Amino acid sequence: MGSIKKRILSGMRPTGRLHLGNYVGALENWVKLQESAASATAAEVFENFHLIADYHVLTTDLDTSAIYANTIEMVIDWLGAGIRPEVSPIFRQSQIKEHAELFLIFSMLITKERLERNPTLKDQVRDLSMGETIGYGHLGYPVLQAADILIYKGEVVPVGEDQLPHVEITREIARKFNTTYGPVFPEPEGRLTQFARLTGLDGQAQMSKSRGNGILLSDPPPEITAKMRKAVTDPQKIRRGDPGRPDICTVFTYHRKFNPTEETEIRAGCESGQLGCVDCKMRCASRIAEFLAPMREKRLYYEAHVDEVKDILNEGEKRARHEAQKTMADVHNAMKLGEV
Ligand code: ATP
Ligand code: MG
């Protein structure tokens, strides 16, 4: 039985080291889909393209001084998690001019009102206390993202839940282009995991790099323990003996993902009051540390071989540029731009 081959396009902003939310919401899925080709029975196999969304950093922070260092750190996190650049190119948005070109064309195909209704924008403005005014580029965040996805004719976009509204806008832009100028683009679908919006240690908002409320993939075990100690749990469970409500507890969510074999026992202990929050947290911290150990190990190698990381970017950018140029030729043909 032949399997269907699909192109994946997914990226992240180089705004700092990655956290567990990035991993369980997106990165873990990238690796799983990347390895689909190894399964003889897979109905779909995937070709992954992974983008470093460095222009997207500017939507919320004009300071560019940390972008390069953050890019290297992020690529190391990707490699540590199992992205294999020889099959899955890794590249920076800013190094492939065609992204900006397609962004410009796409910005003609969507209204300002549609972009203002984007719930992810509203959440971001609230979470980062950005006030009332929004930059023109920030409003256009999903338009640039549509260009990032569609310039590679991406069909599957494995992302966290906050990104789904952007995938929807991408589909709308693809449809609008295709009906106006001819069928050039696929309508990509978002793919979520079971943990598509992992809550941060503050229990308040989704774990995010810019809020600094996460456990990092690179955190050493003592750091994980220290962060876990401060994690917010059920506010009604004040001391050991008080019954807790695991379903509203962030730490319990982490147990579900990283400690599934003890989930039932932890739930029962919490609900009965026999398990105190400190013990519960320490058990969770050690499972997470075990889970992350192989990634930290792999990280160490790349930290000592940054030149390899730079080569990976160069190679990925060559491959990505080639694909992007082919699509722009299709776009110009469909739009009859440049005809003599
Ligand atoms: P920033 O705060 O700079 O926006 P971020 O932590 O939100 O950083 P992004 O680079 O915006 O990370 O997102 C990278 C990917 O990780 C996206 O697919 C996003 O949906 C996913 N993601 C981010 N945070 C979470 C989370 N808490 N739970 C699940 N997925 C997440
Ligand atoms: Mg984000």
Q: pLDDT of 261-318, one tens digit each? A: 999 999 999 999 999 999 999 999 999 999 999 999 999 999 999 999 999 999 999 9
Is the predicted pLDDT of residue 198 greater than 80, yes or no?
Answer: yes
The CATH number of whichever domain residue 240 belongs to comes to: 1.10.240.10
Beta strands in 187-245 (DSSP E): 189-191
Fill in the amino acid letter for 269: G
Fill in the amino acid letter for 246: P
CB 283 within 8 A of CB 260: no
Regarding whether 182 and 42 lie in a shared domain, the answer is yes
pLDDT for 253: 96
Is residue 215 assigned to a domain? no
Regarding whether 297 and 314 lie in a shared domain, the answer is no
Which of 22, 164, 197, 198 has most ligand 1 atoms within 8 Å of CB, for mutation? 22
Regarding whether 273 and 256 lie in a shared domain, the answer is yes
CA distance 147 to 196: 23
The CATH number of whichever domain residue 176 belongs to comes to: 3.40.50.620
pLDDT for 340: 63
Q: What is the DSSP string of 264-324?
A: HHHHHHHHHT-S-HHHHHHHHHHHHHHHHHHHHHHHHHHHT-HHHHHHHHHHHHHHHHHHH
pLDDT for 1: 54
Regarding whether 310 and 252 lie in a shared domain, the answer is no
Is residue 205 assigned to a domain? no
Regarding whether 310 and 276 lie in a shared domain, the answer is no
Regarding whether 256 and 154 lie in a shared domain, the answer is no
Q: Which ligand 1 atom is the nearest neighbour of the CA of 195?
A: 29
For residue 65, the cross-strand partners are none
pLDDT band at 38 (very low <50, low <70, confident <90, very high): confident
pLDDT for 221: 98
pLDDT in tens, 136-163: 999 999 999 999 999 999 999 999 999 9
Q: Is 27 in the pocket of ligand 1 (CB under 6 A)?
A: no
The residue range of the domain holding 296 is 221-302
Regarding whether 313 and 298 lie in a shared domain, the answer is no
Q: Is 267 in the pocket of ligand 1 (CB under 6 A)?
A: no
CB 93 within 8 A of CB 321: no
Q: Is 198 in the pocket of ligand 1 (CB under 6 A)?
A: yes
Is residue 210 assigned to a domain? no
pLDDT in tens, 212-243: 899 999 999 999 999 999 999 999 998 889 99
Q: Is 207 in the pocket of ligand 1 (CB under 6 A)?
A: yes
Is residue 203 assigned to a domain? no
DSSP-derived 3-state class of residue 159: coil
Regarding whether 159 and 63 lie in a shared domain, the answer is yes
CA 161 and chain centroid, separation: 10
Which of 27, 162, 218 has most ligand 1 atoms within 8 Å of CB, for mutation? 162
Distance between Cα 132 and ligand 2 center (Å)? 19
pTM given for the model: 0.95
* Burial of 74 per CB tally in 10 Å (0-12, 13-18, 19+): buried
Regarding whether 168 and 119 lie in a shared domain, the answer is yes
Is residue 216 assigned to a domain? no
Beta strands in 162-225 (DSSP E): 189-191
Distance between Cα 26 and ligand 1 center (Å)? 8
For atom 20 of ligand 1, the residue with the nearest CA is: 160
Distance between Cα 208 and ligand 1 center (Å)? 6
Is residue 208 assigned to a domain? no
Rounded average pLDDT over 252-268: 97
Consecutive H or E run containing 50: strand 44-52
DSSP-derived 3-state class of residue 266: helix
CB 19 within 8 A of CB 197: no
- Residues of the chain with pLDDT > 70, as a percent, come to 99
Q: Choose among 83, 7, 92: nearest CA to 44.
A: 7
Domain count, the chain: 2
Q: Is 159 in the pocket of ligand 1 (CB under 6 A)?
A: yes
Is residue 122 assigned to a domain? yes
DSSP-derived 3-state class of residue 307: helix
Regarding whether 292 and 315 lie in a shared domain, the answer is no
DSSP state of 19: B
Is residue 213 assigned to a domain? no
Helix axes 277-303, 306-335, angle to 10 degrees: 90
Q: Which ligand 1 atom is the nearest neighbour of the CA of 163?
A: 20
Regarding whether 84 and 105 lie in a shared domain, the answer is yes
Angle at alpha carbon of residue 49, lines to 46 and 52, rounded to 5°: 150
Regarding whether 108 and 9 lie in a shared domain, the answer is yes
DSSP-derived 3-state class of residue 163: helix
Laid out side by side, the sheet with 156-158 consists of 90-92, 44-52, 4-12, 156-158, 189-191
Count how many Cα atoms sit within 13 Å of the Cα of residue 76 in the half-sphere of its side chain: 24
pLDDT in tens, 99-116: 999 999 999 999 999 999
pLDDT band at 184 (very low <50, low <70, confident <90, very high): very high
